[in-house]
Amino acid sequence: MIFKFKFVPFIVFVLAFALLVRLGVWQIDRWGEKTELLKQYEININISLSEDGLEQDIIETNYKKLSITGVWVPKDMFFLDMRKHKGISGMQVVMPMLLSNGKKVLINRGWVKHTLGNKDNPIIKTPINKQNISGIIRSANKSYFMTNDESSKRKMFVDIEMLTENENNLFPGIVIQVGGEEDGLIRNWQKPNFRPAMHLGYAIMWFAFAIILLVMSLYMSINREKIEGQ
């Protein structure tokens, strides 16, 4: 049986098939990344570091516990806007801490209630003397879908690359503070939910769609040839 080549349907099939396979491969890649992150989290969350541990590469310190002592730098504070806690609108407060060795570390101090549309930034209680804080180190990934207003104290994400370009002594990560003084901030952080199995499920779904498209295209081509041959 000789199939008659039809250019337009063939191009549509190739593009659709390639897209479905690409989506499946992308989800396989995401599954691998999330699996590695889950392994890293399970190992690193049981490791505690002191100030000297900040000399390690940020990739090695991701999810490790940290205890440091320093003074807050409130003038460089900014807010991560549009963060909800139990369905309530608010912000997360990010403030640098200056250590005795001159290094600065960004600390996510916690969440504060803030009404959406309120143009005034919340007032944050900040001690002026040395503080010892504990937290969990996180790498800060830049968002490729949003931009920050550099002139505003309100940000959508932590652009660690831009911040470290302006300050060489800034640690290239962020510490999520746990516990600490009574300052009115909520630090009820949720455990990261990596869900690698979800991405594997999506990959199987996209590959299945690609196979279904292939089978349907072959079936329709064969039937069309039979009808035209009658």
More confident residue, 112 or 221: 112
Q: Is residue 210 part of a domain?
A: yes
- pLDDT reading at 162 higher than 50: yes
Residues 172, 202 share a domain: no
Whether residue 187 is contained in a domain is answered as no
Strand partners, 178: 134
Determine if the pTM surpasses 0.85: no
Q: How far apart are alpha carbons 206 and 21 in whole angstroms?
A: 7
Same domain, 162 and 208: no
Q: Is the pLDDT of residue 2 over 80?
A: no
pLDDT digit string, tens, across residues 37-51: 999 999 999 999 988
Residues 126 and 149 in one domain: yes
User: Do 140 and 222 share a structural domain?
Assistant: no
Give the CA dihedral 170, 176, 180, 181, nearest 10 degrees: 70
Average pLDDT of the segment spanning 140-150: 58
Which of 211 and 227 is assigned the larger pLDDT? 211
Is there a single domain that holds both residue 30 and residue 109? Answer: no
Task: List the CATH number of the domain containing 145.
Answer: 2.40.50
Start-to-end Cα distance in the chain: 13
Let me know how long the chain is: 230
pLDDT digit string, tens, across residues 64-104: 999 999 999 999 898 988 888 888 999 999 999 999 888 99
Q: Is position 1 within any domain?
A: no
172 in the same domain as 90: yes
Residues 79, 154: one domain?
A: yes
Let me know whether 105 and 204 are in one domain.
Answer: no
Residue 152 included in any domain: yes
For residues 26 and 89, membership in a common domain is answered with no
Domain that holds residue 142: 49-178
Question: Structural domain tally of the chain?
Answer: 2
Element (H, E) at 95: strand 88-99
Question: What single-letter amino acid sits at 108?
Answer: N
With b meaning 16 or more CB within 10 Å and e meaning fewer, what string describes 150-177? eeeeebbebbbeebbeeeeebbbbbbbb
Cα separation, 176 vs 136, in Å, equals 5
Query: Cα separations (Å) of 130 from 71, 100, 149, 173, 202?
Result: 5, 10, 31, 21, 49
Answer for the pair 27, 200: CB distance below 8 angstroms, yes or no.
yes
- The one-letter code for the residue type at 205 is M
Asked whether the beta carbons of 186 and 110 are under 8 A apart, the reply is: yes
Check whether residue 107 and residue 164 sit in a common domain: yes
What's the pLDDT tens digit per position in 175-221?
Answer: 999 987 678 899 988 888 889 999 999 999 999 999 999 999 888 87
Q: Is 42 within the bounds of a domain?
A: no
* 78 burial level (CB within 10 Å; 0-12, 13-18, 19+): buried
Asked if the structure places residue 29 within a domain, the reply is yes
Tokens read off for 50: 């002191």
Same structural domain for residues 82 and 27? no
Please tell me whether residues 93 and 151 are part of one structural domain.
yes
Does the residue 109 lie in any domain? yes
The answer to whether residue 189 sits within a structural domain is: no
What is the structure's pLDDT at 54? 86
